[in-house]
Structure 1
Amino acid sequence: MSRGWMALRTLAFLLVAGLAIGFLVFAGRIATYATPDTGRQADAIVVLTGDAGRTTAGIDLLREGRAPQLLISGVDAAATPADIQRHSGLSDDELDCCVILGRDATDTIGNAREAGALVRENGYRSLIIVTSDYHLPRSLLEMRALMPGVELIAYPVRTTPPWRDFGASRLWLQEYAKFTAVWLRQTVTPRPESV
């Protein structure tokens, strides 16, 4: 076997091993996200739409008085306030006084932009970020890049861990790939915009 072939095999092995170790670190980070103490308050709650349970968790936090305002980021443009109320159980008063429906975001960086606009408009210094546990690392990366001085309190909505379900494994691996891409992008070209 030639030296070139051996070097290529060694490089491939190191790459696969590095990715596997990286995924284990990623999964370990997700496992460390704990639900914040019940007394923990913030200026606003930001829910990133997507998986089931996210909006409900955000509404529960609002009703507990953890923040006076809730941004639901990534609401479908066709959804009416009545649709939101039917699916969320929000009252008219809650919707009118305390809930902002963010309709511009179509991805995680869009969520970060909507949250950043909320922070700029109101001078907020802390946000509770509600999303699925596996989505938190990338969400926090995108938000910290746009809001470096804002305290971001992670609120994980628990999902099936990858070692229990093949579908969850695929989802977590996809999210790990996206997280890695965002991390590399931010490492190579830090984003100049900030709050």
Structure 2
Amino acid sequence: MIRWITAGALAVMIFLVWAVLARVFAPKGNTAATHFDAIIVLGYPADSDGNPTPEQLARVSEGVHEYERGIAPRLILTGGAAHNNIVEAESMARVARAQGVPQSAIVLEPRALSTIDNACYSARIMKQNGWRSAEVITSKYHLPRAGMIFNDLPRELAIDWRGHGAPELGPDPESAPGWAVTSSEVTKTVRYLLYARWADSCSP
């Protein structure tokens, strides 16, 4: 019995170390380009009243900032109702419009329920429109896993991309402490490496 417990604990440790190393060496992009066809902003939940949480606001605001800098002529806002009944892309679009982005420069992807979906559905939109490159904006702690996922897109949907971390605007009163967020991301990375990259993989 002790032998099985020891073996199980060792396996868990190996998986966690694998995930940590994968995050450290995760791709930050596959292009040296500085201008893109689109800026993809990965979703984060609004609150139950539809108001942007600090983290959602940070991601969208950074997307707007990059748009205003001329990094790309449009924003793809991706996220469905993954955590409550508020569609993240629609909440994000309200923020972008309030910050001066015209509706004509906003593209909604309102179905994604995971980061894999974010990447897959956004890449499909890009291919349908003939767009080939994107800056991907998300929270800094989320960038490593997002980078793995964008790097693993099927060849038919592959795009030129680089990651860009949104600076924090302030604490989210409903968020976990920093160490818990990091632990959660490591756990999600383990799931991605062992299971989700195949079971939930993107199809063209």
Question: After TM superposition, is the score higher than 0.5?
Answer: yes
Q: Does the 8 Å CA contact 2:39/2:74 hold for their aligned counterparts?
A: yes
Offset from partner CA, 1:92-151 (integer Å, 9 cap, x none): xx3223111322223223212331222112222211110112222332333334354311
> Which residue of the partner structure matches residue 42 of structure 2?
48
Q: Does the 8 Å CA contact 2:109/2:121 hold for their aligned counterparts?
A: yes
Q: Give runs of aligned pairs for residues 23-172 of structure 1, distance below 5 A.
A: 23-26=19-22, 28-29=24-25, 40-50=34-44, 51-52=55-56, 53-74=58-79, 76-77=86-87, 84-85=94-95, 89-91=98-100, 94-148=101-155, 149-158=158-167, 167-172=177-182
* 1:15 correspondence with 2:11: yes
Report the CA distance between 1:27 and its aligned residue: 5.3
> Which residue of the partner structure matches residue 184 of structure 1?
194
Report the CA distance between 1:187 and its aligned residue: 6.0
TM-score (norm 1): 0.72
Please tell me the residue identity of whatever aligns with 1:90.
Q
Question: Rg: which structure is higher?
Answer: 1
Q: Identity of counterpart residues, as a percentage?
A: 21
Q: Which 10-residue stretch deviates more, 50-59 or 60-69?
A: 50-59
Q: Distance in 2 between matches of 1:120 and 1:77?
A: 23
Q: Distance in 1 between matches of 2:133 and 2:93?
A: 29
Q: Which 10-residue stretch deviates more, 178-187 or 97-106?
A: 178-187
Question: Once superposed, what is the RMSD of the aligned Cα atoms?
Answer: 3.5
The number of aligned residues is: 179
Please tell me the residue identity of whatever aligns with 1:63.
E
Offset from partner CA, 1:53-98 (integer Å, 9 cap, x none): 111111100000001111111164498689714x76332xx32231
Please tell me the residue identity of whatever aligns with 1:14.
L
> Which residue of the partner structure matches residue 52 of structure 2?
none
Q: Distance in 1 between matches of 2:163 and 2:68?
A: 18
Q: Distance in 2 between matches of 1:116 and 1:131?
A: 16
Q: Does the 8 Å CA contact 1:141/1:183 hold for their aligned counterparts?
A: no
Q: Which structure 2 residue ranges, 5 or more long, are not aligned? A: 45-54, 81-85, 171-175
Q: Which structure 1 residue ranges, 5 or more long, are not aligned? A: 161-165
